[in-house]
Amino acid sequence: MSDRITLLRTALLKENLDGFIVPVNDEFMGEYVPDSAKRLKWLTGFTGSAGLAVVLKDKAAFFTDGRYTLQAKAEISGFELYNCVDMSPEQWLAGQSEGAVVGYDPKLHTLYAIKRYERSANNIKWQEVFSNPIDSVWENRPAAPASKAIIQPIEYAGQSSSDKRRRIANDIISKGGDTFILTEPDSVCWLLNLRGADVPFTPYLLCNAIIDKSGAVELYIDKGRISDEVSAHLGQDVTIRSPENLAADLAALKNKVVIYDTAVSPAWFYYEMKDARVRVIEGSDPCKLPKACKNDVELEGMRQVHIHDGLAVTRFLCWLDMAVADGERLTEISVADKLEEFRKVSALYLYPSFPTISGNGPNGAIVHYHATKSTNRVITENSLLLMDSGGQYQGGTTDITRTVAIGKPTHEMKRHFTKVLKGHIALARAIFPEGTSGSQLDVLARQYLWREGLDYDHGTGHGVGSYLSVHEGPQRIGKRGGDAALMPGMVVSNEPGYYRTDEYGIRIESLLVVKNVPVSEDGKRYFGFETITLAPIDLRLVDRTMLTEQESSWLQEYHQKIAATYSTQLNQQEKDWINGFC
Ligand SMILES: [Mn+2]
């Protein structure tokens, strides 16, 4: 890759830049980046999902987090490598030559991030660069994705786009604005009841939109991607504009008050508006909350796809037990493929909602493990297998983790699993007043582990989209970042875990729907959860003596519900197997 660093340096020289920063994300800031925008991979060869490179005249550095430091070492040469916890890019830059001019592409960084760079490395002269120098030297760059827009019909969306637009328009007015700039593709797709296939795993279109307080929308996408049918669906209040018009259209907002989200939107939008003297006020994306609070139709869709998805996982788990008993040779990849085979039996299943995590033994302890040909383990006796997977269905999105004993579990494995399970049940059974946030409930899932001086280094729950991104906000259950109040209709995961480095990993994940519960004596509204994921929890890993009566009956009722739901769909062997859980 060193010739590519040289190519970039030559391009920087022409722009009078001493350096340039290259983040992993594209201008849509989503979880998955299309090949056409994998600039960091082009420059460094790094294939992970978190990283940032800084190229200066005489040196170059690469920053990632603990998940990827080993991978970065294996994939990258010619860069100093850092774990960003020990050394952030801005800290590193602050130690470089005084007054160096370092460029950045404002489409790839939020205004919030730029301000942080400027504060932390104030000896650097930060320079926005409107045409990315990598693009000018990237030969054989793949074409940008251009999937056709697909309608998400009202049978699944539950609310028409025009109703959604009216609601968002009212929200803009109540915030004292005229216009909001929608920079996040899942918000645009939710608002317009559209989906697409621009990136793997998340069924959206990479596009931006501008919504006016009248409810009119300008959608920035190539016209060729919009069929006549989609055009009719969008109606006359939605105008299709070429992405090339976006800068001019932003400048044309100069008599309007524009609401803009500095924390999630690329700085580029702000700079374009600032140059044209547009009045910009700060505010968060008004689509986020209504998108998170699913309507009754979306919730029914979620329940239905979880019945399909849970059947696949249940049948897979039964198959796995039989295969292990028969002494079949299984690997992390072969069981992940088998699980997908079971999902494909459902005509409603489309594709995975994220890359399956299938981790056996010590690999299960690596939280974001992804089995490759070189790491693929043969599944061994007397170990744990952790499988985290999910599916996209037109009616909803799933995400489930089950941890299974292969052979005989140790006493320690059972003790740790039961601690995680107790936390999972405590969260699933929680009842809380209106206004309670995910961070306030997080301790419920961790309390039994904490009591033993144990913990897990990830959040307890994230929001899940309705045939959209498997990770969405604003709700979250975790020590940090879970400030949004949980509201009825929100879908959130319940996924405590425990990880013993070099030995095994445990995680139990089901999805929950926030619902009203009729317990109020004080006149306030109280909420609780409905667990919609249906797949058995491995009882061979449960130490019954550690469970209270209530926890035992929760577990029994959960398994009875699964057995009853699938009573007509399972074959006799599967039925006998699931009845063993009741
Ligand atoms: Mn999850």
pLDDT computed for residue 69 by the predictor: 86
What per-residue confidence (pLDDT) applies to 488? 98
- Does residue 2 register a pLDDT over 80? no
pLDDT tens digits, one per residue of 134-191: 999 999 999 999 999 999 999 999 999 999 999 999 999 999 999 999 999 999 999 9
Instruction: List, for residues 201-243, the tens digit of each pLDDT value.
Output: 999 999 999 999 999 999 999 999 999 999 999 999 999 999 9
Q: What integer is the mean pLDDT of 262-267?
A: 94
Q: What is the pLDDT of residue 519?
A: 80
- When mean pLDDT is compared across 71-75, 104-108, 151-155, 246-250, the lowest value belongs to 71-75
- Judge if pTM exceeds 0.75: yes
C-beta neighbour count of 529 within 10 angstroms: 25
Ligand 1 midpoint to CA 492 (Å): 9
How many beta carbons lie within 10 A of that of residue 362, not counting itself?
18
Domain boundaries, the chain: 2-137, 150-291, 293-575
State mean pLDDT over 473-496: 96
CA-to-CA separations, 264 to 67, 253, 448, 487, in angstroms, rounded: 23, 20, 35, 22
Q: Residue 482: what pLDDT?
A: 83
Centre of ligand 1 from the C-alpha of residue 361, in Å: 20
Which residues have their alpha-adjacent CB atom under 5 A from ion ligand 1? 399, 493
Q: What is the CA(203)–ligand 1 centre distance, in A?
A: 17
Alpha carbon of 80 to ligand 1 centroid (Å)? 33
pLDDT in tens, 515-567: 999 887 888 899 999 999 999 999 999 999 999 999 999 999 999 999 999 99
Distance from the alpha carbon of residue 258 to the mean position of ligand 1, in angstroms: 35
Q: What distance in angstroms lies between residue 507's CA and the mean position of ligand 1's atoms? A: 10
d(CA 256, CA 576): 66
Ordered DSSP codes for 333-388: HHHHHHHHHHHHTSTTEEEESSPPEEEEGGGGGSTT----TTTPPBPPSSEEEEEE
CATH of region 2-137: 3.40.350.10
**How much distance in Å is there from the Cα of 242 to the middle of ligand 1?**
36
pLDDT at 261: 94
Give me ligand 1 centre to Cα 494, in Å.
8
Question: For a pLDDT cut of 90, what percent of the chain falls above it?
Answer: 93
Using the mean position of ligand 1's atoms as its centre, give its distance from the Cα of residue 515 in Å. Answer: 20
- Distant-in-sequence, close-in-space partners of 482: CB < 8 Å, separation ≥ 6: 437, 438, 439, 440, 442, 459, 475, 476
Q: What is the pLDDT of residues 402-448, one digit of tens each?
A: 999 999 999 999 999 999 999 999 999 999 999 999 999 999 999 99
Check residue 97 and give its pLDDT. Answer: 78
Ligand 1 centre and the CA of 574: distance in Å?
Answer: 27
Integer Cα distance of 259 and 281 in angstroms: 5
Task: State yes or no: pLDDT of 1 exceeds 70.
Answer: no
On the question of a common fold for 2-137 and 293-575, the answer reads: no
- What is the CA(175)–ligand 1 centre distance, in A? 33
Model confidence at 14, pLDDT cuts 50, 70, 90, reads very high
CATH class of 293-575: alpha beta
Residue 405 structure tokens: 């004993």
Question: Contact, 21 vs 128, CB < 8 A?
Answer: no
- pLDDT value, residue 331: 98
Residue 559's alpha-carbon distances to 8, 166, 545, in angstroms, are 58, 43, 19
- Mean pLDDT (the chain, rounded): 96
pLDDT the model gives residue 368? 83
User: What's the 103 CA to ligand 1 centre distance in angstroms?
Assistant: 36
CA quadruple 352, 353, 355, 359: dihedral sign:
negative
CATH architecture of 150-291: 3-Layer(aba) Sandwich (3.40)
pLDDT in tens, 23-40: 999 999 999 999 999 999
